[in-house]
Amino acid sequence: MSRYVFKLPDLGEGTVEAEIVNWRVKPGDTVAEDDVLVEVMTEKAAVEVPAPVSGRVLSTTGAPGDMVPVGAELIVLETQPDAAAQAAPAPAARSAPVAAAGSATPAMTSAGGNGAAPAAARTDRVATSPAIRRRAHEAGIDLRQIAGSGPNGRIVPKDLEAYVARRAPQPTPLRAAPKAVPAARAGEPRVAPGGATEEIKVIGLRRLIAQRMSEAKRNIPHFAYVEELDVTELESLRRHLNSRLAQGAPALTYLPFLALALVRVLRDFPQCNAHYDAERGVIVRHRSVHLGVATQTPEGLKVPVVHDAQALTLWDLAAEMRRVSEAARSNKAKREELTGSTITITSLGKLGGIASTPIINAPEVAIIGVNRALERPVVVDGAIAIRRTMNLSSSFDHRFVDGYDAAAMIQALKECLEHPATIFIAA
Enumerate the active-site residues. Answer: 398, 402
What span, in angstroms and rounded, lies between the C-alpha atoms of 403 and 406?
5
Q: Are 129 and 50 in contact (CB under 8 A)?
A: no
In three state form, how does the secondary structure of 185-233 look? Answer: CCCCCEECHHHCCEECCCCHHHHHHHHHHHHHHHHCCEEEEEEEEECHH
Residue 125: C-alpha distances to residues 109, 121, 144, 237, 355 (Å): 21, 11, 8, 62, 63
Residue 185, C-beta contacts closer than 8 angstroms, at least 6 positions apart: none
Where is 295: in which H helix or E strand?
strand 295-297
* Nearest CA-CA partner of 288 in 336, 340, 215: 340
Query: Any idea what DSSP says for residue 57?
Result: E
Is 75 exposed, middle or buried, given 0-12, 13-18 or 19+ CB atoms closer than 10 A?
buried
- Peptide bond between residue 81 and the one before it cis (omega within 30 degrees of 0): no
User: Which DSSP string do the residues of 222-272 spell out, in sequence order?
Assistant: EEEEEEEEE-HHHHHHHHHHHHTSPTTPPPP-HHHHHHHHHHHHHTT-GGG
What span, in angstroms and rounded, lies between the C-alpha atoms of 271 and 283?
9
SS3 call for 351: helix
Our CA angle for 239, 290, 356, nearest 5°, is: 65
What span, in angstroms and rounded, lies between the C-alpha atoms of 265 and 288?
13
**Residue 394 φ then ψ, to 5°:** -125, 155
Longest CA span, the chain: 92
